[in-house]
Structure 1
């Protein structure tokens, strides 16, 4: 994976060239999202008071936590991913999947990949329908998962 450089130095990658792969489900259009948010990780902490030390408390890391992913795109009328979501919401059939969020370079080659494990649909919403607006219908998927790794 070569980094893009120019006469002045390194250019960071752009945040608009990516794809979202639902491993085992989806079709060619199911990788096209306009926004991904929630790729972050943080520690829960626990305060520990040391006897005789009144100036401060120790703060210790306990476990990691991952917020829900939020995926947005123009609504698809033929989507295996939405079928997967509706199976969970309507039939209470949860089939956790692996999701790859791939940041791409200008040659459409992977620069970074976030591997999301045991993902399941938590919420599906559709933007407001309004006859006075000239806009496309946006669907938003909120996905809960166990953890992710970065390659």
Structure 2
């Protein structure tokens, strides 16, 4: 956690603009503009015991459901790493990877880390092209994954 230095034990919320992403082997240290979709949801199972005097269902936790993570980054010359990873998906063959998303403090130390296990690209969206635009070209990568582990490495 960040401290203001004035008083011992006082803390501030972490800013969200300093982070790094590790997508595995040749995709280590890729600079992203935005990462979103780090969400987890438990499906609800409605159940009513037959001897329950209250005529209503009881909610129980069901299967865990993970949302897809969306990452946006600038397009660079001769950088086709996302497309190469996506090309490896064919006929039920998927090259899954462990993806690490790290939130950093002002000194560059990891304060919180999201580990996405068995991640693979489900969608890549290339930049839109406009002859009258002056924005940076942005690629969007969407990842599906099977488990998220949050730690303060």
Q: Which residues in structure 2 correspond to 1:81-100 (within 5 Å)? A: 81-88=82-89, 93-100=93-100
Q: Which residues in structure 2 correspond to 1:19-38 (within 5 Å)? A: 19-26=20-27, 28=29, 31-38=30-37
Post-superposition shift, 1:57?
1.2
What is the number of equivalent residue pairs in this alignment?
146
Q: CA RMSD in A?
A: 2.0
CA contact (8 A) 2:21 2:99 kept: yes
Gaps of 5+ in 2: none
Partner of 2:40: 41
Q: TM-score, normalised by structure 1?
A: 0.86
Q: Which residues in structure 2 correspond to 1:1-150 (within 5 Å)? A: 3-6=1-4, 7=6, 9-26=10-27, 28=29, 31-51=30-50, 53-77=53-77, 78-88=79-89, 93-150=93-150
Give distance in 2, aligned partners of 1:53 and 1:126: 57
Give distance in 2, aligned partners of 1:55 and 1:22: 50
SS in structure 1 of the partner of residue 59 of structure 2:
strand
Q: TM-score, normalised by structure 2?
A: 0.85
Gaps of 5+ in 1: none
SS in structure 1 of the partner of residue 70 of structure 2:
strand
- Deviation >4 Å, runs of 4+: none
Farther-moved stretch of structure 1 (38-47 vs 49-58): 49-58
